[in-house]
């Protein structure tokens, strides 16, 4: 077995987290072998543009690449694309590839991401019932959405809403079906949900809340309508199902690693096996600033955990804890969200909601700024993200007064 910076690292999953970890390991001085194994047929790429620029035709598929052509080969990172890891053998410190070949490791990094939450209803296999996770999905969607296409989006989360906005921009007739009583119920405040619903409706998107899909019906194998629990039948040419994702933790579970809706890791992305780390969408991790664990699905999370594991393996200091953050583009809105909310937060709105430029601040009963949801307000977002990271306090009411500069509102 090798030690120091020259052991053999195997990374399972060549997505945003896995690709970043491989690059950072080399950047931080890892001299041993690095093998990056990915089930998809291409090198690591960025998913955020799939529901935005790629669907709108503003971004070409090759522009999604995380790293330029030749990057991995130049850095002696062995990239195996189109290959599945089928098993982790912890005792033998090796993984098995789909062809049965073993790959030995001194350290293993699980970066298997997430898989789509299934919608187990009749008709789900009909043609025209689609989902959106990969570049292949996005290109298929782009080819199917035309002026006047009747698109039903099942699920009013960020990705469903982004795809709905893109489809509407392309001239489709779009209806969003959300089972809950508001959009983005799991991740956004009431105030943001209501604003986004109103904005999308103004743009001509039909938003149906409390609408639960119980099946699809079709003709000649092609979807023609969705059936709702209340007995209604809504006609469509295309149904995009986007009801969230589940952590892809099956390999870890089979190997007996601790999993609780995500592979359980510590603040340095290490699992309960000292030779196995896990990073990205597949993990449940501690959120240092919030004294709790969470499963996060964001680029920032993938990159932060990639830094944690690369720094640990290369003997570098851990990156400073940051507030989790993400973004979403819908029509001409840029939503930017940082921090985590709690039910006991008080909410303060700053800016001009009627003019589509404002920020919603979430403040704890102790006066700690816990989260921000900014709409076309990048300066407020940047300030709040920094303030959350530094655990700054604020007399909340002053946040709502746009006449007071934010830097004068927050106090250490």
Q: Is 294 helix (H, G, I), strand (E, B) or coil?
A: strand
Question: Which one among 7, 48, 53, 128 touches ligand FAD, defined by CB under 6 A?
Answer: 48
Both tokens of residue 341? 């909310």
Number of residues interacting with ligand FAD: please give it, by CB under 6 A: 37
Provide the minimum distance between the beta carbon of 357 and ligand FAD in the complex, in angstroms, as a whole number. Answer: 20
**Which one of 11, 36, 132, 259 is in contact with ligand FAD (CB under 6 A)?**
132
Rounded CA-CA distance 295/86 in Å is: 23
Element (H, E) at 351: strand 346-352
List the one residue out of 113, 96, 38, 90 whose CA is nearest residue 275: 90
Q: Is 84 in the site for ligand FAD (CB under 6 A)?
A: yes
258 φ/ψ sector (left φ>0, alpha ψ -120 to 50, else beta): beta
Which one, 165 or 363, has the nearer CB to ligand FAD?
Answer: 165
Q: Is there binding between residue 16 and ligand FAD (CB under 6 A)?
A: yes
Interior/surface letters 201-214, b for 16+ CB within 10 angstroms, e for the rest = eebebbbbbebebe
- 8 phi/psi in degrees, rounded to 5: -100, 120
Within residues 286-325, the interface with ligand FAD by CB under 6 A covers: 297-300, 302
Work out which of 277, 328, 376, 394 binds ligand FAD, going by CB under 6 A.
328
- CB-CB neighbours of 326 under 10 Å: 17
Shorter beta-carbon distance to ligand FAD: residue 297 or 380: 297
**With contact defined as beta carbons under 8 Å apart, do 152 and 67 qualify?**
no
Q: How far is the CB of 28 from ligand FAD (least distance, A)?
A: 19
Any contact of residue 38 with ligand FAD (CB under 6 A)?
Answer: yes
CB of 205 to ligand FAD, least distance (A): 17
From residue 245 to residue 284, the character string flagging contacts with ligand FAD as x (rule: CB under 6 A) and all else as - is ---x--x----------------------------xxx--
CA atoms within 13 A on the CB side of 257: 33
- The residues that touch ligand FAD, with contacts defined as CB under 6 A, are 12-18, 37-40, 47-48, 50-51, 84-85, 111-114, 132-133, 159, 248, 251, 280-282, 297-300, 302, 326-328
């Amino acid at each position: 077995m090798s030690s120091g910076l020259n052991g053999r690292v195997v990374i399972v999953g060549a997505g945003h987290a896995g690709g970043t970890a491989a690059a950072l390991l080399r950047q931080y001085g890892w001299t041993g072998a690095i093998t990056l194994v990915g089930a998809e047929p291409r090198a690591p790429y960025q998913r955020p543009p799939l529901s935005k620029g790629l669907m709108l035709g503003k971004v070409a598929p090759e522009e999604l690449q995380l790293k330029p052509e030749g990057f991995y080969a130049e850095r002696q990172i062995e990239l195996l694309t189109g290959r599945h890891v089928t098993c982790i053998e912890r005792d033998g410190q090796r993984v098995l590839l789909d062809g049965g070949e073993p790959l030995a490791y001194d350290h293993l990094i699980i970066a298997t991401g997430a898989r789509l939450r299934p919608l187990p209803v009749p008709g789900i296999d009909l043609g025209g019932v689609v989902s959106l996770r990969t570049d292949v999905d996005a290109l298929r969607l782009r080819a199917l959405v035309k002026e006047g296409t009747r698109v039903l989006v099942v699920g009013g989360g960020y990705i469903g809403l982004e795809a709905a906005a893109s489809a509407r921009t392309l001239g489709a007739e779009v209806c969003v079906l959300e089972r809950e009583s508001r959009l983005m119920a799991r991740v956004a405040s009431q105030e943001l949900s209501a604003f986004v619903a109103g904005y999308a409706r103004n743009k001509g998107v039909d938003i149906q809340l409390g609408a639960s899909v119980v099946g699809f019906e079709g003709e000649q194998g092609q979807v023609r309508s969705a059936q709702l629990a209340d007995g209604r039948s809504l006609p469509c040419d295309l149904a995009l199902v986007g009801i969230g994702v589940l952590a892809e933790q099956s390999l870890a579970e089979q190997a007996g690693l601790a999993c609780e809706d995500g592979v359980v890791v510590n603040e340095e992305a290490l699992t309960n096996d000292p030779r196995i780390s896990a990073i990205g969408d597949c993990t449940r991790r501690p959120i240092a600033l919030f004294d709790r664990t969470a499963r996060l699905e964001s680029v920032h999370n993938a990159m932060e955990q990639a830094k944690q594991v690369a720094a640990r393996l290369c003997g570098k200091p851990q990156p400073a804890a940051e507030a989790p953050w993400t973004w979403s583009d819908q029509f001409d809105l840029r939503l930017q969200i940082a921090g985590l909310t709690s039910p006991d937060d008080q909410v303060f709105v700053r800016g001009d909601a009627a003019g589509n430029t404002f920020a919603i601040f979430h403040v704890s009963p102790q006066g700690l700024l816990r989260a921000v949801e900014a709409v076309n307000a990048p300066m407020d977002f940047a300030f709040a993200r920094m303030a959350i990271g530094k655990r700054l306090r604020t007399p909340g009411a002053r946040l709502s007064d746009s006449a007071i500069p934010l830097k004068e509102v927050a106090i250490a």
